[in-house]
Amino acid sequence: MKVLVPVKRVIDYNVKARVKPDQTGVDLANVKMSMNPFDEIAVEEAVRLKEKGAATEVVAVSIGPVQAQETLRTALAMGADRAILIQTTDDLEPLAVAKVLQKIIGEESPDVVIMGKQAIDGDNAATGQMLAAILGWPQATFASAVELSAGKAKVTREVDGGLQTLEVDLPAIVTADLRLNEPRYASLPNIMKAKKKPLDIKELASLGVDTAPRLKVVKVTEPPKRAGGVKVETAADLVMKLKTEAGVL
């Protein structure tokens, strides 16, 4: 059973994003980049499935600049068998990413695609759902537990009322939530081994996929600074402030 894991290169979650002076986007110059945390969870789950014998091959794929090779090498160091980089300097929208992944899936024929539920830069949480719709595959999103057996995937997902368990036929799309697992740290020997694992590079233009943007960014600004809180003496004062100042009552 082959597992395909898309991974994205994003600003490291410990770094505070800075807006460009002209407000056209986020400044990426001299900023530490790393694998999207939810994608890291997806890689860990795929590797664990291989270690359990439920999967035989884990393939990581990324869409981005040449520097995304570092992200893929991290996935290989975690336990992925090989990697594919679709090289482009364009910042693709979720629909375009889904179309590119559809092309790669057509070439690789994986049994299941495990991916992060969202990227922490765009926060769209849309690519997995769009990919499932384009492929016509079943989907199980926001997974907190995954089991593969006999051509089916049993996925537990977190919903407002508690936990929901779904069973979907393979091939399927599964998106990983925060509590699915705790990703491992890549050991030094595995980092060295990852340098010898195959990493195939393809140019985005060679795939013949329409990735033209459908959206236009008008302006990117910093969120407003939070005002300091106030103390009130009585419950009546609190109610009055909620009515007159906060306007929530």
The pLDDT of residue 243: 87
Among 35-44, 52-61, 63-72, 215-224, the range scoring the smallest mean pLDDT is 215-224
Inform me whether the pLDDT recorded for 18 exceeds 70: yes
Residue-wise pLDDT for 141-200, tens only, equals: 999 999 998 899 999 998 888 899 999 999 999 999 999 999 999 899 999 999 999 999
Angstrom CA distances, 36 to 23, 44, 98, 153, stand at 24, 13, 17, 24
The pLDDT of residue 176: 96
The pLDDT of residue 83: 97
Q: Which domains does the chain have, with CATH numbers?
A: 2-246 (3.40.50.620)
Bond into 110 cis (ω within 30): no
Inform me whether the pLDDT recorded for 249 exceeds 70: no
Residue 2 tokens, joined:
């082959």
Q: Report the percent of the chain where pLDDT is more than 90.
A: 76
The pLDDT of residue 167: 95
Inform me whether the pLDDT recorded for 201 exceeds 90: yes
Q: Do residues 176 and 60 lie in contact, with contact meaning Cβ atoms separated by under 8 Å?
A: no
d(CA 60, CA 188): 20
Q: Tell the burial category of 144 from Cβ atoms under 10 Å away from its Cβ (0-12, 13-18, 19+).
A: middle
pLDDT, mean over the chain = 93
Residue-wise pLDDT for 66-107, tens only, equals: 999 999 999 999 999 999 999 999 989 999 999 999 999 999
The pLDDT of residue 82: 96
Inform me whether the pLDDT recorded for 246 exceeds 80: no
Give me the mean pLDDT over the 114-129 stretch: 94
